[in-house]
Amino acid sequence: MLLNIAPYPRRSSRPLLLGIALLVVTVMAAEGSRLLTLEGQTLSPIWPISGLFLGAILARGWRTLPWLMLGYALWLLGLQHFSWQATAWVVVGMAIGSGCAALLLRTSFARFENATPLQRLSVFYLCAAVIGAGINASFGTLGYLANTKSTIAAYSHTDIALVYWAFEAFGIMLFTPLAYLLLQQGTLSVQELKSDCQRSAMMIWAGCTGALLVGIALSDWLSNVAYAGLTAMVLLPLMFWFFLQANRSSTALMIPLIMTTYVLAARFGWGGLKPIQDIQGLLDTLLIAAAMTLVVQLFNAMAQERNRLIQTFREQANTDFLTGLHNSRFLNTTLTEVLTSTPATSAPPYWLTLFELVDIEPLTDLYSLQQIQTLEQHVASQLAYCTPTNAVLARLSSGRFAILCRQHERDTNTLCEQLYAQFNQRIVDVDGEPIRLRVALASVALTQTAATTATSPSYYLNAATHALFDAKERVERWLLVSDTVPLLHTHQQQAQQLEVLKTALYGNGLRLFVQPIAALQHDLAGHYYEVLLRLQTPTGDLLSPVAFLPIAEQYGLMVEVDRWVIEHTFRTLHEQPTWQARTHCCAINLSGASLTHEETATYIREQQQRFAIPAHIIRFEITETERIGDVQIAMTLIDSLKQDGFSVALDDFGAGLSSFAYLKLFNVDCIKIDGQFIRQLTSNALDQAIVKSMRDVARTEALCTVAEFVEDHSTQALLTELGIHYAQGYGIAKPMPMADLFLIEG
């Protein structure tokens, strides 16, 4: 429906000017309508006054009514020479009918706030065209009878009232929407009309329609039945296409324009139409025009509903369902527009900032879905309040938001700093549950340089994601990146390394190496060695663990790596019984990830039983320097390994702050003294004192000791003198393939 009644606007700053304008328009519209009447008659099929009254009251309120009544009265008295009595009846009737219709419409539209355009059109016809026009017609008939007594005998009072009613209703149907839109949102209506006129599609439509109408006016097409059908087939789709595409103000103007053109053609016989000769012809024209108006307005209402649904679908496609913010689709579209329209040298640049709730995954496991959704809605509303007004704020996924804003780097730095201070460690009450937030932010500049020519949103989204990943590793988890090239290059290298590692892990690219460990206090009946790992690249190069294990730790592959080493070590010893028989102790490293994995003990037990490996020759080394996420799970694992007959060593002892605490917590058999205390042992008295203290602690707990990074014979001799049990390092032997070790006679 063309009408979507809004609250009355604030009082006009120039009420006198508005009133005078309404008075003048009323007189001009009423007098202009008389151009369509028959000679000697006072009825016009086009009657804009009833529509102007109702539209003005709906748009500007009751303060417009005195001016409208005054203009109408002046026209009746001065130009139509009505008597005072007839003028009073007609003007008062118009005011009462229009006022009642306005009240009914406002009440109905307010009550049915979510009504469809078709429902609104039905209400409009009932309240305005039936009730309002009926009241107008009742009073108008009395005025007409009072002013034209000579023609009364030809018609009954009922006929006069019904005809009057039809003319008033038609005027309301045509002109109320147009008057309302022009008076309620004049500037916006003009802008909508201007916008439609500037569209190339509308210009083509206007040209086609205008050419067709001119052709009709200058020919006898409509007098020929064949041509008339063809004309209708062309005109109707053109009209319907217009209503599907045009703005509301354009359709409100087009409907009375079309109907006025039709009545003009019928009145004066244009385009082959038979001219109107009498009152009956005028009524016939009115009925046809009213029927056409009804059809056009019904179609227009359906077109508006269609356009509303399309607009709703578009908004839904670009809106996050949970928070009401924009979504990733809208962000991608906006990024594409920015990257393709912004010159490379423009300043300031756009910045893309990612904001993430770091703990969203564990929170999702701990709290209900409703609580997590409430939390995200709260964060979204606060982000919308804190971000600049010109920023595009979008929710990308659970707990992750994006901010796109054009500003200087210092302003972006300030924004990130403020958002981090505002949200990090903030406690949010969600349904009575206090939830402490941890957040991370990363901003990347959308600048295009000689090294950066990307215009794809995915490039910068990828860069921002990598920057966010790096930000999470910082103490204050926020980061600004003005040049994305080095960032993406680094992460691209890591991605390549990760793929090489996965290919090796799940293919045949890993190699078992061992490093012998020498006994310092007694001879060994067999080999004592630590299992090490090498990665063979497609080119045949062997990479040390330093080159690929950090990637495995970073991307959560350490459990798989540990299991590969365990399985292949056990398999090798099983397939080489002589190697197994000559093994005194085989040390295998367990990462912190495996140490806190609840199924590690079960996996080790299954592999031992599968390959029939004696548990007493296997020693698992746990490193003190790697973070152990759950100490209780680690303690349970170590106890389980001990019960199965394996031994356990605490690696890198002394390198961290928790060495002696771990020694109290974990039931280990051996400590491996970190190399930082061994490298300068022969020349550093402090290192000697520390090693002695570790030896004394080990003796108290009946633990064996292994010194790492033994590089020369003098260090080996001193360690022997200090009572250290074993030595490991390049001074003893370098890492070698497992087969090479057993070529050495034990």
Average pLDDT for 270-290: 73
How far is residue 692's CA from residue 718's CA, in Å, rounded to a whole number?
11
- Is residue 189 over pLDDT 80? no
Question: Is residue 519 classed as helix, strand or coil in its secondary structure?
Answer: strand
Do residues 253 and 219 touch, judged by C-beta distance below 8 A?
A: no
Do residues 704 and 480 touch, judged by C-beta distance below 8 A?
A: no
> What are the C-alpha distances in Å from 189 to residues 24, 29, 182, 184?
21, 20, 6, 9
Tell me the per-residue pLDDT of 463-508, one tens digit each, with 9 for 90 and over.
888 899 889 888 899 999 888 888 777 777 777 778 888 888 888 8
Do residues 440 and 423 touch, judged by C-beta distance below 8 A?
A: no
Tell me the per-residue pLDDT of 359-396, one tens digit each, with 9 for 90 and over.
888 888 888 889 889 999 999 999 998 898 889 999 99
Tell me the per-residue pLDDT of 698-718, one tens digit each, with 9 for 90 and over.
999 999 999 999 999 999 999
Average pLDDT for 399-421: 91
- Is residue 2 over pLDDT 60? no
Average pLDDT over the chain, rounded to whole?
84
Give percent helix, percent strand, percent coil of the chain, each to the nearest 5.
60, 15, 25
Beta-ladder partners of 355: 401, 441
> What are the C-alpha distances in Å from 435 to residues 207, 268, 365, 377, 652?
64, 79, 13, 14, 38
Tell me the per-residue pLDDT of 612-625, one tens digit each, with 9 for 90 and over.
999 999 999 987 55
Tell me the per-residue pLDDT of 537-557, one tens digit each, with 9 for 90 and over.
888 888 888 888 888 887 888
Do residues 60 and 14 touch, judged by C-beta distance below 8 A?
A: no
Residue partners of 602: CB distance under 8 A and separation at least 6: none
Nearest to 394 by CA among 364, 354, 358: 354
Tell me the per-residue pLDDT of 575-625, one tens digit each, with 9 for 90 and over.
999 999 999 999 999 988 898 888 999 999 999 999 999 999 999 998 755
Q: Tally Cβ neighbours within 10 Å of residue 232.
A: 11
Residue 218's pLDDT is: 60
How far is residue 486's CA from residue 479's CA, in Å, rounded to a whole number?
14
Beta-ladder partners of 589: 621
Do residues 442 and 479 touch, judged by C-beta distance below 8 A?
A: yes
- Which one of 4-8, 169-173, 444-448, 488-492 scores highest in mean pLDDT? 169-173
- Is residue 216 over pLDDT 80? no
Three-state secondary structure string covering 204-244? HHHHHHHHHHHHHHCCCHHHCHHHHHHHHHHHHHHHHHHHH
Tell me the per-residue pLDDT of 509-527, one tens digit each, with 9 for 90 and over.
899 999 999 999 888 888 9
Residue 150's pLDDT is: 46
Residue 213's pLDDT is: 67
Residue partners of 488: CB distance under 8 A and separation at least 6: 459, 462, 463, 466
Higher pLDDT: 662 or 513? It is 513
Higher pLDDT: 272 or 595? It is 595
Residue 1: half-sphere exposure toward Cβ, Cα within 13 Å: 20
Do residues 50 and 168 touch, judged by C-beta distance below 8 A?
A: yes
Tell me the per-residue pLDDT of 82-131, one tens digit each, with 9 for 90 and over.
888 888 988 999 999 999 999 998 888 888 777 777 788 888 888 888 99
Nearest to 710 by CA among 678, 677, 676: 678
Q: Which residue has the tokens 């029927």?
A: 291
Residue partners of 695: CB distance under 8 A and separation at least 6: 705, 722, 723, 724
> Range with the lowest mean pLDDT among 174-178, 183-187, 234-238, 395-399?
234-238
Question: What is the maximal distance between C-alpha atoms in the chain?
Answer: 142
Residue 692's pLDDT is: 94
Please report, as a single letter, which amino acid is at residue 296: V
Tell me the per-residue pLDDT of 298-316, one tens digit each, with 9 for 90 and over.
877 777 777 777 777 887 8
Residue partners of 214: CB distance under 8 A and separation at least 6: none
pLDDT above 90 covers what percent of the chain? Answer: 35
> What are the C-alpha distances in Å from 545 to residues 260, 550, 553?
88, 8, 11
Q: Which residue has the tokens 């890591």?
A: 494
**Contacts within 8 Å (CB) and 24+ apart, 33-36:** 36/263, 36/264, 36/267
Residue 746's pLDDT is: 45
